[in-house]
Homo-oligomer: A and B are copies of this chain.
Amino acid sequence: MPENPADRVGAFVPGPRAAIAGKAAGPLSGLSFAVKDLYDVAGWPTTYGNPDWGRTHPVAPSHAIAVAQLLDAGAALQGKTKTVELAYGLTGENVWHGTPTNPAAPDRFPGGSSCGSAAAVAAGLVDFAMGSDTGGSVRIPASYCGTFGIRPSWGAVSLTGACALGPSYDTAGWFAARAGILARVGAVLLPTVAPGLAGLGLGPLIKVDEAWVNATPATACALGAGLEAAEGLLGKALSLSLAPEGLPALYEHFRCAQAAEAWSTLGGWIEATNPEFGPGVKERFAAAKAMDPAKSAAGRAFRDQFRARMQALLAGGAVMIYPTSPVPAPKLGISLDAQNAVREMTMGVTAISGLAGLPEVTLPAGRVEGAPVGLSLVAGAGRDRALLALAERLAEALSLPV
Contact = CB atoms under 8 A, between A and B. Distances in A.
Interface stretch (A68-76, A85-93, A306-314, A350-358): A306-314
A389 interface: no
A240 B241 CA distance: 6
Interface in A240-290: 240-245
A238 B245 contact: no
A340 interface: no
A239 interface: yes
A305 interface: yes
Nearest to A317: B312
Copies in the complex: 2
Contacts of A239: 209, 239-241, 244
Contact of A204 (B203, B312, B380): B312
A245 B240 contact: no
A237 B305 CA distance: 13
A3 to B, nearest CB: 50
B236 A244 contact: yes
A243 B235 CA distance: 11
A244 B240 contact: no
Contacts of A235: 305, 309
A316 interface: yes
Contact of A316 (B241, B243, B313): B313
A245 B317 CA distance: 20
B305 A312 contact: no
A241 B318 CA distance: 14
A93 to B, nearest CB: 37
Nearest to A231: B244
Nearest to A200: B312
A298 interface: no
A312 B318 contact: yes
Interface string A220-242: 00000000000000011111111
A316 B311 contact: yes
Interface in A315-334: 315-318
Nearest to A234: B309
A124 B336 CA distance: 70
A309 B205 CA distance: 9
A319 to B, nearest CB: 10
B308 A312 contact: no
Nearest to A309: B204
A207 to B, nearest CB: 9
B238 A312 contact: no
Interface string A195-225: 0000000011000010000000000000000
Interface of A: 203-204, 209, 235-245, 305, 308-309, 311-318, 380
29 contacts: A203-B308, A203-B309, A204-B309, A204-B312, A204-B313, A235-B305, A236-B244, A237-B244, A238-B240, A238-B241, A238-B242, A238-B243, A238-B313, A239-B239, A239-B241, A239-B244, A240-B240, A240-B241, A311-B316, A312-B316, A312-B317, A313-B313, A313-B316, A314-B316, A315-B315, A315-B316, A315-B317, A316-B316, A316-B380
Given A237-B244, A238-B243, A314-B316, 20 more contacts: A203-B308, A203-B309, A204-B309, A204-B312, A209-B239, A235-B309, A236-B244, A238-B241, A238-B313, A239-B239, A239-B240, A239-B244, A240-B240, A312-B316, A312-B317, A313-B318, A315-B316, A315-B317, A316-B316, A316-B380
10 closest A-B pairs by CB: A315-B316, A312-B316, A239-B241, A236-B244, A315-B315, A204-B309, A312-B317, A240-B240, A238-B242, A312-B318
